[in-house]
Amino acid sequence: MLKNNSSQYGLVSVLMHWLMALAIFALFAVGFWMVDLNYYSEWYRTAPYWHKSVGILLAAALLLRLIWRRISPPPLPLATHHSWEKKLARVVQFCLYLGLIILFISGYLISTEDGRAISVFDWFDVPSAGALFANQADIAGVIHQYTAYSLITLAVLHGLAALKHHVIDKDHTLKRMFGHKP
């Protein structure tokens, strides 16, 4: 039930997948919106604070997810999938993980160049590692921005591919992600 088996996603993987998807799209939207906030906006301080807090928690969630992948590997691809589909899906999934990792590192480097820690909802602080290279905040900022655009593009394609399986191929790819048995 909690664990995955060879044909079905368990509850842990299903929840992690959809909660993280929600967090990723929310972080992107907030990030896109908050950088242009007016100084007198009531969100000027809270939006970045939430963005950073949720981002750190998402990083922790990804770590757990990757560990969980080891403990309980995902089910095998559907037999009806073409081999190029399987390969492409694997590449995209790998890039999604990689993109998230780059976003976590670059986001962390923007906020911590001056030695300030990142407060996660005033619950705990992630300490700064200081300035690790010149122009750290600027370089990390550019990387963060373009990685975010790439990741969200890839995530949309990943979603459209799932819809394609659901609507055109009429297979169980998408349903399975909700824990359905094929």
Partner 1 sequence: MKKLLLAASITAMMAIPAQAADYVIDTQGAHAFVQFKISHLGYSWLHGRFNTFAGDFSYDADKLTDAKIKLTIDTTSIDSNHAERDKHLRSADFLNVSKHPKANFVSTKIVPKTGNEFDLYGILTLNGVTKEVVIAAEKLGEGNDPWGGYRAGFAGTTTLTLKDFAINTDLGPASTTVQLDLVVEGIRK
Q: Which of 120, 137, 143, 177 binds partner 1 (CB under 8 A)?
A: 137
Q: Does 13 bind partner 1 (CB under 8 A)?
A: no
Smallest separation, CB 53 to partner 1 (Å): 15
Exposed, middle or buried by CB within 10 Å (0-12, 13-18, 19+), for 16? middle
Q: 95, 89, 96: which is closest to 24 by C-alpha?
A: 96
User: Cα separation of 77 and 162, whole Å?
Assistant: 13
114 is a site residue for partner 1 (CB under 8 A): yes
Tell me which stretch binds partner 1 (CB under 8 A): 55-63, 67-75, 106-114, 172-180.
106-114
**CA-CA distance, 169 to 59, in Å (whole number)?**
34
Q: Which is nearer to partner 1, 52 or 65 (CB)?
A: 52
**Residue 112, interface with partner 1 (CB under 8 A)?**
yes
Interface with partner 1 (CB under 8 A), residue from 54, 102, 113, 172: 113
Question: Shortest Cβ distance from residue 75 to partner 1 (Å)?
Answer: 43
Binding characters for partner 1, 24-53, by CB under 8 A (x = yes): --------------xxx-------x-----
Calculate the alpha carbon distances from 36 to 21, 29, 96, 146 in Å.
24, 12, 26, 16
112 backbone dihedrals φ, ψ, rounded to 5°: -110, 5
CB of 149 to partner 1, least distance (A): 17
- Residue 162, SS3? helix
Query: CA-CA distance, 15 to 2, in Å (whole number)?
Result: 10
Contact residues: partner 1, CB under 8 A: 38-40, 48, 110-114, 116, 131, 135-138, 141
